[in-house]
Structure 1
Amino acid sequence: MVDIGKWPIFALCPQEDLKFIQQACVFGAGNEVLYVTKNDEVFVIGTNSSGCLGIGDAQSTIEPRRLDALCGKKIVSLSCGSGPHVVAVTSEGDIFSWGHNAYSQLGNGSTNQALTPSQVSTNLISKKVVSVACGSHHSMVATSDGEVYAWGYNNSGQVGSGSTANQPIPRKVTSCLQNKIVTGIACGQMSSMAVVDNGEVDVLS
């Protein structure tokens, strides 16, 4: 059961539905939420800044709305940035992103916001993604074979490309992770870290 008691936004949900929530991502200073039920349905509620609810418009909703594009996809990892933008990973290893995109944090090669989830596939076609982490305006994923790909805002080198130029599409991080197998990832607002199989923590730069 997800510990949702500390988030007031869940008071907008029918109380009998709360016991069916298996994972949730609360973002936008607690004003927006995406949650997944035990039967793999996906719902959203909130102010919908930059279309971050993924429902095709930028209208707020105080009632749960079904996010049809992701229902049945078996979401295994969720993360959000402060734009906000949202990235979801499915059990099949596919990635979907939507919301704010001024810094290419959606990984689709543009800077246009996205009002609905779209699959991120550039440089990842043959990869199975297992987890995602988002900073303020950048995104990072780990694959089943221990690789890391990152994209988006890069003013502090947080996508690990060796420069500070923004990265519009997923790019494999090699500078500090060459010949290393990554087992975990995390992002700060403008930083990225990876845990490798020997327990070492590497900061991307």
Structure 2
Amino acid sequence: MLDVGKWPIFSLCSEEELQLVRQACVFGSAGNEVLYTTVNDEIFVLGTNCCGCLGLGDVQSTIEPRRLDSLSGKKIACLSYGSGPHVVLATTEGEVFTWGHNAYSQLGNGTTNHGLVPCHISTNLSNKQVIEVACGSYHSLVLTSDGEVFAWGYNNSGQVGSGSTANQPIPRRVTGCLQNKTVVNIACGQMCSMAVVDTGEVYVWGYNGNGQLGLGSGGNQPTPCRIAALQGIRVQRDLEEFCFRFCVNHLTVVTQTSGFAEMDHDLLKNFISKASRVGAFKN
């Protein structure tokens, strides 16, 4: 059984229901919404359901776990969520589903209508297998098995990487400096984005008002730009759960050290717990 006892929202579940929890993602401004999977590969949701973010077809809150029947038979590979909140989910078969808040087209379905049920996003992704997803406050990124990044949604600071600040209503491949690169990891801050390529180089774009992109300047970056200060440093892919997901107000990249690996178990467990609150879990 997954230990979810620290999350108050799970106090609404019975002991029998808790025994079946295999994965869980708690989200919402106050941790008042949750999506979880069971050992039987069923998907359940619970909570306040702001903007239909539970995907149940309505905006009614629920204090009892409800099965997300629209995703019946699907297995979750990874998911992420934004501030609205909106949810982006990839299945083990590489399909992408989105729902929830959509005022800035962050669902990628070509509209600005909130999504009350999971919608399969296939535009420009129909022949792609998505292996990773990431959400900013109101924009979304996905990574495909062939190392391509697609982005959509709110773009006031260039966080979609299109070279403009126009919102992007459907998935668009992020090119520029990434055109001939193979991306292995992606992440989002609130209004910025990051990609790590197979050579260990880090590329960033979007909001940079506080210098959080690490480019040595404070101007926004509308297209991917390599962080020159990391020249010669290979960013380790296996730290994704500890740093790439830990991107809310700014982006931070760390390199692996033996000290980190030897971190006290309780401290490490607490760090993982806090990092998991940012907005993603991965199978």
- TM-score, with length taken from structure 1: 0.96
2:143 corresponds to: 142
Deviations, residues 2-25 of structure 1 (Å, cap 9, x unaligned): 442321111111222223222222
- CA RMSD in angstroms comes to 1.1
Separation in 1 of the partners of 2:147 and 2:131? 9
Give the structure with the higher percent helix.
2
Runs of 4+ in structure 1 over 3 Å off: none
1:180 corresponds to: 181
Aligned residues: 205
Unaligned runs of 5+ in 1: none
Deviations, residues 140-179 of structure 1 (Å, cap 9, x unaligned): 0000011000000011111111111100000000023121
Tell me the amino acid that sits aligned with residue 171 of structure 1: R
Separation in 2 of the partners of 1:3 and 1:82? 25
1:156 corresponds to: 157
Tell me the amino acid that sits aligned with residue 11 of structure 1: S
Q: Give how far 1:123 is off.
A: 0.3
1:123 corresponds to: 124
Q: How does 1:35-54 map to 2 (within 5 A)?
A: 35-54=36-55
Specify the SS of the correspondent of 2:178: coil
Tell me the amino acid that sits aligned with residue 54 of structure 1: G
Identity %: 73
Question: Contact 1:134 / 1:187 at 8 angstroms: preserved in 2?
Answer: yes
Deviations, residues 55-83 of structure 1 (Å, cap 9, x unaligned): 01000001000100112200111111110
Specify the SS of the correspondent of 1:164: coil
Separation in 1 of the partners of 2:80 and 2:22? 15
Specify the SS of the correspondent of 1:45: strand
2:25 corresponds to: 25
Give the structure with the higher percent strand.
1
- TM-score, with length taken from structure 2: 0.70
1:111 corresponds to: 112
Tell me the amino acid that sits aligned with residue 61 of structure 2: S
Specify the SS of the correspondent of 1:10: helix
Unaligned runs of 5+ in 2: 206-222, 224-283
Separation in 1 of the partners of 2:154 and 2:140? 8
Specify the SS of the correspondent of 1:18: helix
Separation in 1 of the partners of 2:154 and 2:163? 13
Tell me the amino acid that sits aligned with residue 184 of structure 2: T
Tell me the amino acid that sits aligned with residue 32 of structure 1: E
Tell me the amino acid that sits aligned with residue 14 of structure 2: P
